[in-house]
Amino acid sequence: MTSDLVIDVRNVTKRFGGLVAVNNCSLAVRRGSVTGLIGPNGAGKSSLFNIVAGNIVPDDGQVIFDGTDVTGMKPHQLFGIGMLRTFQIAHEFSQMTALENLMMVPGDQPGEHLIDTWFRPRLVRSRETEVRKKALDVIDFLKLGHVRNELAGNLSGGQKKLLELGRTMMVDAKVVLLDEVAAGVNKTLLNDLAANIERMNRELGYTFFVIEHDMDLIGRLCDPVIVMAQGEKIAEGPMADIRANPAIVEAYFGTPVEAA
């Protein structure tokens, strides 16, 4: 039976010298959700996010992904089993077009192997046609057709974030980790980005785990929202409940926050 939990963090602890960044923390991301992770600077949320993404190995505890213990697995290994991450600073291939950037994503394409290019050219062409069609479908979904042949390095910050989102659509992602998706994006493109995340969740069934400082974006996209402080999970629920909790508002937002 398939578990409702796609990510299950169990009693994870991470120390950096004498600093306990994550302290016996447990949390979960449910399949089909857009789950937010927030907290003040130093709360441990970035460390926990990096542990889930495979960039940091925890000292104690487990990360279970889709029923499998993936604790300590590297990002490329997690990519291979369906956990994808976008970054605060987009990592595009700047001298390739937007379309070519998307076509680079699927792994183990026949054209990557010299023997196949020599002796199986029909297979190479067939797979390339298939990948190109999918990339064009993704570009159409994200409404990036007007920049599909533009060098990715020339795109705006928001367009680069959309392109990163498109990369996650080129493979069968079980969960997408969104790292500060609002950073460096103007309000117009941020609205487009948020709308596409909502569409991917609603129409295509994508699960998202979001770390973000923009509370308005978190409030729009995420349910539930998980709050961390001092390395521990301290609250979880709809953003309206988080905003309405006086203890959380005072301790972790500094000033009262208007209810959404």
Residue ranges per structural domain of the chain: 5-89+168-253, 93-154
Rounded distance between C-alpha atoms, residue 137 and residue 131, angstroms = 10
Q: Residue 55: its pLDDT value, please?
A: 95
Rounded distance between C-alpha atoms, residue 134 and residue 150, angstroms = 18
Mean pLDDT of all residues in 12-29: 96
Who contacts 144 (Cβ-Cβ below 8 Å, separation ≥6)? 98, 159, 162, 163, 166
Determine phi and psi for 6, rounding to 5 degrees: -90, -30
Which segment of 10-24, 168-182, 215-229 scores lowest on mean pLDDT?
A: 168-182
Mean pLDDT of all residues in 145-173: 89
Record: fold of 5-89+168-253: Rossmann fold (3.40.50)
**pLDDT averaged over every residue in the chain:** 86
Confidence of residue 245 (pLDDT cuts 50, 70, 90): confident
Q: Global pTM?
A: 0.83
Q: Closest Cα to residue 200, out of 187, 210, 215?
A: 210
SS3 61: strand
Determine phi and psi for 156, rounding to 5 degrees: -70, 170
pLDDT digits (tens, 9 = 90+) for 60-98: 999 999 999 999 999 989 988 999 988 755 678 789 999
- 5-16 sheet: strands from edge to edge: 19-30, 5-16, 60-65, 68-69
Confidence of residue 259 (pLDDT cuts 50, 70, 90): very low
Above 70 in pLDDT, residue 212?
yes
